[in-house]
Each structure stands twice: as C-alpha cells, then as structure tokens.
Amino acid sequence: MKKINKVVIAGGTHGNELTGVYLAKKWMKDKEVLQRRTVDTDVIFVNPKATDIMKRYVDQDLNRSFLLKDLSNESLDNHEQKLARVLSKKIGPKGERNQNFDFVIDLHGTTSNMGVTLILDNQDPFTHALAGHLQKINPMTRIFVDADATEDAPFITSILPRGIVVEVGPIAQGVVDAHIFLETEKLVYQMLDFINEYNLGNYISNKKELDVYKKIKSIDYPRSDDGDITAMIHPALQGKDYSKLKNGEPIFLDFNGNEILYQDEEDVYPLFINEVSYYEKGIAMVLTEKMEIKI
C-alpha cells in the first residue's frame, strides 16, 4: 500500500465546535508538534467565517457539501458551496488521481455523551488498522460506521480515499472544554505516531476484527404539524449513547409527562442522542447495531 506521507487536519469544519477550532489555531502557530519522521502534516482552520458568527455554518452545512456533482457545479455559490470547492482543490482535488494529501483527520464535537468516537466513512484497510490500533490503546474508543456513506459521500473526509472523523463529547457548542481538548489532542498525536510506524513497516497486529457500531437508521423527535418537537429524549435515555436499547423501554417524554416507548428492532444501540445540530436534520438519535468487522 502507498505510504501515508502527507496528512491534513481539518479543525472547525463546523464553526461552533471549538475543540477543532482551537487545536487548529494552536497547530497553525506550531506545526512542529505534528511532524513525524515519515509524515508531513498540515492543518486547516476550515470555516473561520462560521466561527466568527459562532454558528455551525453560514449558509449550509459545510460537511454535507462535498458531493462530486455539487463540487463541479459552479452555479452553487453560497459561502459553504464555494468553500467546499476551495477545500477540495486544496486537499484533493476530490476524484483526481494525484492529490495533495494522503489522509484527512476531521475534528468535531458533539453534545451527545459519545466519549471518543471515530467515524469511518470508507472501507479502507489502512483506516481500519488505524482505528483498531486506537481502540487497542484506549478500549473506550468507539467506532461508528455510517452505513449510508458511499464512495461519493458529502463529507470533507470524502475528498480523499482515506480519512477519519473524530467526534468527542459531550461538549456544548461555543465552549472550549479542557478535558475534551486534551483528549482530542492526544488522539491526533497517537494517530500521527501510528501512521509513522505504519510507514516504517513497524506495524504488526494480530487484531483481525474491529468492534464497530453500524448505522441502521435514524429516529426523529415526535413533532407537531408545524415541525416543532413535542417531546424530548426520555431522561432514562439521555446520555446513554452506546447502551443497548430494548423493546418497551422509554425513548421520549412529552412535555406533559407522557412516556413514549421504543417498539422496534431488538438489540440496537443509540448514538448521537440529543445532538444539538441534528434537531434541524430531523434526527433525535442514530440507531446502530454492534458488530465485528474483519480487518
């Protein structure tokens, strides 16, 4: 396999997720800490205009703006549509054979109680090996496989064939939390160390499986005709990301105190429970199945 010599870190892809914003600002002043013998790493503070107004985005979710058909459509000209084209050229370009980087790490925060979560958008063996290594040195590292992701995904990580999303929470938008900052920083250094060892041929693993949570589907909040939510995540489920949800257990509580029970497939594990930016996407949580994948 081609070595991973050029890595790019994206911080602040969502303007109000400040862990990535301040890690990017830190590393832009001091790129030395990111360099490894065989790995040259660059960092991008992705959407400063969104950070200025302390919003996820200015016009539309940047991290849903990287479909090839959108990148090639010059008539799409709002802030994030234009920014996506700039970033694709800088990091990729997406879809081209010769690209500027070999691997992208995209840093995010979530209001859900998801701890350290890695999101894999692809089926790349190297990325699986990396995730397996991180899970080995920190067994609390969770891996989410978004089954919807295809080769042409709308995410910034889709620019390159290889990349990973880091999602650490719970953290409110607009704040820096030192625990989460330090956890994310450490994780990035562990990734770069691994990439270097891998390039040097020092990576040997007898790990054949990866424990992952694979998306089944997402569930929306109960809503009124005008689209407003009519219930909240049940207090017994709030913060219980990655715990098994059983048939008949309460899932929502309406504002009058009535419980709404989960009555669907067995053995599901909800993630992104009560993630703030998913209210507008119609997602109260993402249901997953726990499984092993061969690596």
How far apart are alpha carbons 122 and 23 in whole angstroms? 25
Amino acid at 133: H
In the complex, the smallest distance separating the C-beta of residue 28 from a copy of itself, rounded to whole angstroms, is 11
Smallest gap from Cβ 60 to a copy of itself, in A, equals: 15
Interface positions with a copy of itself (CB under 8 A):
22-23, 25-26, 30, 111, 170-179, 181-182, 228-229, 232-235, 238, 253, 255-256, 274, 276-277, 279
Minimum CB distance to a copy of itself, residue 136 (Å) = 25
CB of 235 to a copy of itself, least distance (A): 4
Nearest residue (CB) to a copy of itself, 198 versus 252:
252
Question: For a copy of itself, which is the closer residue by CB, 276 or 295?
Answer: 276
Helix/strand/coil for 92: coil
Tell me if 100 sits within 8 A of 90, measured CB to CB: yes
Q: How far apart are CA 47 and CA 81, in angstroms?
A: 12
Q: Which is nearer to a copy of itself, 212 or 253 (CB)?
A: 253
DSSP 118-153: EEE-S--HHHHHHHHHHHHH-TT-EEEE-TT--SS-
Q: Which is nearer to a copy of itself, 31 or 290 (CB)?
A: 31
Please spell the DSSP secondary structure of 237-289, one letter per residue: TTT-TTSPB-TT-EEEEETTS-EEE--S-SSBEEESTT-GGGTTTT-SEEEEE
Q: Cβ of residue 171: shortest distance to a copy of itself, in angstroms?
A: 8
Closer residue to a copy of itself (CB): 33 or 137: 33
CA dihedral 46, 21, 115, 140 (to 10 degrees): 80
Min CB(50)–a copy of itself separation in Å:
14
Minimum CB distance to a copy of itself smaller for 2 or for 29: 29
Answer left, alpha or beta for residue 186, where phi above 0 means left and psi between -120 and 50 means alpha: alpha
